[in-house]
Structure 1
Amino acid sequence: MQDIIKEVRYPVEVNGKWGFIGNDWNLVIPAIYDEVDYFSNGVAAVSLDGKWGYITVNGHSLLDINYDQAGPYSNNQAWVEVNNNYLIIDNSGIVLKEYTYEEVDEILSFSANLYLFEKDGRYGYLDNRGIVINAIYDEASPFDNGAAFVTLKNVSFFIDINGEVINFNNDYKFQEAFSEGLALVLNGNEYGYINRSGNLIIPFSKQLGSSFSEGMAFIFDSKIMKYGYINTSGTEVINSKYDAALPFINGLAFVREGKEAKVIDINENIRYSLPEKCSIDVDSYLKGLLFYNITVDGKEMVINRMSGEIRDFSE
């Protein structure tokens, strides 16, 4: 389980401006910014008057707000955009590497000391020294444990940090990147899971799976059009009866059964119910923080993942 009870800083919009709340729902960083990003490594990108900079968890300025765009901090570095050029900077603002708009259209996520980047609709990888893997892929994911999931000419496969293909059984078509040591693959019209050695761990079946989270993956049974959950042995531990399902995080998962929206634990006990006419912001849900966003009757609100308490910061 993740330790999401630790002191958090979660972005909220108050009267058209953005700030951050702590565990007790109180604003710990005033809502004075036009836009904000999530905190990463104790630093968050914030925007005022069309420019971006960075603040610490105490709300203190780390770097002046004078960049055109700013990405999250990881490993004491971040990307920023200035005059259509991308700069990799350290936490003192010193430029480690500059990329021109002729080289890079957009820098995306960071993992394994590599940035995923886009150029002319294709994807590659770079770092604070130069382009490591050219932008040749139609789709690409961040690196995880030395492997990245990429697609080229409608074929999906894994590469290592040198861009070399990691070979598995050629009969398998990868559907998801590895998560908790397992990857979803397609063989004909059936789905199964293999490990990093290419061995089949969860036998093939007609049920479409998902990535694993906390030892559980949700599955979709197309015969009855319902969702359930399996464990890493492939055992269906929660029967397929739900109309919607999201991954388990800190022992809890969102599901919908008919009109009833609720959060359950791994024993399928209902921890709390949600308003009938609500939708989950999946991006914030998957962040794994103490809070995430939901929409109730068209109004965006914030929910405490553990207690189910919901508050509206727009008023």
Structure 2
Amino acid sequence: MSALVKLGIAGLLFIATSLFGRALGQERIIFQDEKENYGFKDSTGRIVIAAKYVDVGNFKEGLAWVTDMFHIGYIDKTGKLVIPINYDKGSNFSEGLVAVGKINVQAQKYNYGYLNQTGKVVIPLKYDQAYDFKEGIAKVNLGGKWGYINKSGKEVIPLKYNVMSDFSDGMMRAKSNNVWGYLDKSGKEVIAFQYEDATDFYQGVASVKRNGKWGYIEKNGSTVLPFVFENNLGITLPNAMVYLGSMYYLGQGGIAQSYTEALAWYKKAAGLGSIEAMLYLSSMYDNAHGVPQNANESFMWVKKAAELGDVTAIYNTAVRYYNGKGVARNEEEAISWLKKAAEKGSKEAKQALEQMK
């Protein structure tokens, strides 16, 4: 029987298993017998829990889920059935509680709640969806509305949102009345619900859509990249700054061409460690695009990129030392940088070193 069929029959929530032996921690190893039933062995290969289950899961917090094909229960490491096999859905234990579900035949849906490690129902089975507890709270859905509850079942974030993400970078995005906003871990709406679409915060910024255009905001809601992008870039802030700089450099995306703006955005991106921006800046100073031609400034930027390990920049730094472009000529430095480039696989550097012998 395939894992997909078994999941469909047993209706297990949040469970991903394989058909063959899987290693577990704490001296429990899942095995499958000739009848395709599952049990557990210890690290010496001794059977400690007989293979009598259609499927089993990893031990989490001392308990593992087991199924008889139609229902799910939980055993301890001795094989004792701690929670009877009479639930229709179940996850792994997390922070002392586990989300389980039972079919509501009349309503034609599952009802979810939480059990403790003795099998006692500590939060009634009344939710339409329920997720594991993390840091003392769990995401639940009731009547199509999402929120968070604590371990006593009290709502800490009201069940009033149409869509809710998990917390990311200390913030959570949510959708209410067809617009997106952000909440902190206390449930406070810290960024107003005003966006047509939104992404999770990452490294202090998030990409959001307003009036048909995408931009980037900080955790205080201030704009760090203007709303000029047609699509969600799905990239980090430094890369997005480079993208915007290139839009100005080329005059694309409905933006008027401006070397001055391109230079400013490239410098912001370079300040955040973008190698690509450093190389663009080097090129602008080489070609006098928006700035006076300046070989020294060009060399400074290409060397910064080289110091961050970019092989193209390392090779170009070597060439500039050899030719004395933007820096005093220094053959010893040139050879040193060529060797670094060669170590990173640069064919040009290897050829140059051969020619210099």
How high is the TM-score relative to the length of structure 2?
0.46
> Equivalent residue for 2:84?
98
Structure 1 residues 97 and 243 mapped into 2: Cα distance closer, same or farther (>3 Å)? same
Structure 1 residues 194 and 72 mapped into 2: Cα distance closer, same or farther (>3 Å)? same
User: By how many angstroms is 1:55 displaced?
Assistant: 6.1
Q: Distance in 2 between matches of 1:42 and 1:202?
A: 48
> Is the 8 Å Cα contact of residues 21 and 30 (structure 2) preserved in structure 1?
yes
> Is the 8 Å Cα contact of residues 218 and 245 (structure 1) preserved in structure 2?
no
Structure 1 residues 66 and 195 mapped into 2: Cα distance closer, same or farther (>3 Å)? same
- Paired positions, count: 214
Q: Which amino acid aligns with 1:91?
A: K
1:76 partnered with 2:66:
no
Q: Which amino acid aligns with 1:107?
A: G
User: By how many angstroms is 1:99 displaced?
Assistant: 3.9
Structure 2 residue corresponding to 1:202, chosen from 191, 195, 201? 191
Q: Which amino acid aligns with 2:98?
A: Y
Spell out the pairing of 1:120-199 with structure 2 (5 A cutoff): 120=103, 121-129=110-118, 130-168=120-158, 175-199=164-188
Structure 1 residue corresponding to 2:96, chosen from 89, 113, 124? 113
User: By how many angstroms is 1:119 displaced?
Assistant: 0.8
User: By how many angstroms is 1:105 displaced?
Assistant: 0.8
Q: Distance in 2 between matches of 1:57 and 1:110?
A: 23
Q: Distance in 1 between matches of 2:216 and 2:135?
A: 25
DSSP-derived class of the 2:198 partner = coil
Q: Distance in 2 between matches of 1:132 and 1:220?
A: 39
Spell out the pairing of 1:289-304 with structure 2 (5 A cutoff): none
Q: Distance in 1 between matches of 2:44 and 2:217?
A: 41
> Equivalent residue for 1:50?
36
Structure 1 residues 66 and 167 mapped into 2: Cα distance closer, same or farther (>3 Å)? closer
Q: Distance in 2 between matches of 1:78 and 1:183?
A: 31
Structure 1 residues 152 and 200 mapped into 2: Cα distance closer, same or farther (>3 Å)? closer
> Equivalent residue for 1:260?
none
Q: Distance in 1 between matches of 2:24 and 2:144?
A: 35
Query: Which deviates further from its counterpart, 51-60 or 198-207?
Result: 51-60
DSSP-derived class of the 1:111 partner = coil
The CA deviation string for residues 66-125 of structure 1, in whole angstroms up to 9 with x for no partner, is 32221222112211124755432222323323243xxx1121243221111121122111
How high is the TM-score relative to the length of structure 1?
0.52
Aligned CA RMSD, in angstroms, stands at 4.4
Structure 1 residues 190 and 224 mapped into 2: Cα distance closer, same or farther (>3 Å)? closer
> Is the 8 Å Cα contact of residues 40 and 74 (structure 1) preserved in structure 2?
no
Q: Distance in 1 between matches of 2:137 and 2:74?
A: 23
Structure 1 residues 84 and 189 mapped into 2: Cα distance closer, same or farther (>3 Å)? closer
Query: Which deviates further from its counterpart, 195-204 or 37-46?
Result: 37-46
Q: Distance in 1 between matches of 2:19 and 2:150?
A: 39
> Is the 8 Å Cα contact of residues 63 and 93 (structure 2) preserved in structure 1?
no
Give percent identity, aligned residues only.
22
Larger radius of gyration: 2
Structure 1 residue corresponding to 2:51, chosen from 56, 65, 78? 65
> Is the 8 Å Cα contact of residues 148 and 177 (structure 1) preserved in structure 2?
no
> Equivalent residue for 2:290?
none
Point out the structure with the larger helix share: 2
User: By how many angstroms is 1:181 displaced?
Assistant: 3.1
The CA deviation string for residues 165-216 of structure 1, in whole angstroms up to 9 with x for no partner, is 2255x88655224344322123444322111333333344425234456x46
> Equivalent residue for 2:299?
none
Q: Distance in 2 between matches of 1:233 and 1:86?
A: 45
Structure 1 residues 221 and 68 mapped into 2: Cα distance closer, same or farther (>3 Å)? same
**Structure 1 unaligned regions, length at least 5:** 1-32, 248-265, 271-315
User: By how many angstroms is 1:51 displaced?
Assistant: 1.4
Larger RCO (alpha carbons 8 Å, 6+ apart)? 1
DSSP-derived class of the 1:144 partner = coil
User: By how many angstroms is 1:224 displaced?
Assistant: 6.2
Q: Which amino acid aligns with 1:197?
A: S
> Is the 8 Å Cα contact of residues 55 and 69 (structure 2) preserved in structure 1?
no
